[in-house]
Amino acid sequence: MRRRKHISNGNRTSTHGRAAWLLVLLCLVVCAAAAGWVLLRAMDTGATSGERVSQDETREWDETVAPNYYQVVGPACFDEVPEVGEVIYEPLDALGRAGRVIACVDYALMEVGRSREREPTNDLLPSGWGDNAEVEVELPNGNTYHGYFWNRSHLLAKSLGGEEVIENLVCGTRVQNVGANVEGVEGGMAYAESLTRDWLEENPRGSVLYAARPLYRGSELVCRNVLVDVRSSDGALNFEVLVFNAAKGYEIDYETGEFRSGELGHE
């Protein structure tokens, strides 16, 4: 059984006649402008549009294509629509790996996530967790990250209403989690998260469909990618982004979570 969390019902409005047509026309104009803005932002930070990613495939990180550990690959795709304010966590699979998290995030859910205290996660061990150490990783903006190699990376960020539960955590590199982590050049999972937060701040009566699915290769315990889909209720945000679980200068054993300094291997 899937774990569900329901925070709020959101605001539902209806219009008729001429007002409805004007609203549709306005949405189409906003969609066109915003879609261009999202793609431009992606190109500004080094990501490029690519082919849609299958849920059954993984992709290797290529620094020339995705220097900030994400790549916009197309429009969002959803096969399920939760209620406004609802979060659905898929159960762990037979190997103890986290599955998809999908939510319909509204302003109320975001506020709940941002305002609450972060729950302790020391006892939560995502699949592949164990081998960790402080490292130095060269960042895409020229700086260097000094800190632990692995993060407990949220599939749905706390700032969007995600919980500190094992079903919401994967073993992710620091750069998979936040990229360069500097204002204006958010990368990794933070790319989609920051766009979602910004849109909700500007549209507090709207909502955003948000799904994050870890992609594993075979029986590996650590995901190689996370596929994130984002679509706002007005269509201004509508994109799918592939996040890469890698780190420049390090080779990762995705079967065990072990890592070592050296060039990333490619199969």
Span 109-136, pLDDT tens digits? 999 999 999 998 999 999 999 989 999 9
Residue-level pLDDT at 110: 98
Q: Highest mean pLDDT: which of 35-44, 106-115, 178-187?
A: 106-115
Distances (CA, A) of 122 to 126, 136, 172, 207: 11, 23, 15, 32
- Residues 227-240 pLDDT 10s: 999 999 999 999 99
CA distances from 120 to 91, 110, 150, 166, 228 (A): 20, 19, 16, 12, 25
Q: What is the band of 27 on the pLDDT scale with cuts at 50, 70, 90?
A: very low
The residue-averaged pLDDT of 133-154 equals 95
Indicate the pTM of the whole model: 0.81
Among the listed ranges 38-47, 131-140, 165-174, which one has the minimum average pLDDT value?
A: 38-47
- What domains can be seen in the chain, in order of their start residue? 3-261 (3.40.570.10)
Determine the pLDDT at residue 72.
98
Residue 98, C-beta contacts closer than 8 angstroms, at least 6 positions apart: 90, 92, 126, 127, 155, 166, 167, 168, 169, 170, 214
Q: Are 86 and 6 a contacting pair, CB within 8 Å?
A: yes
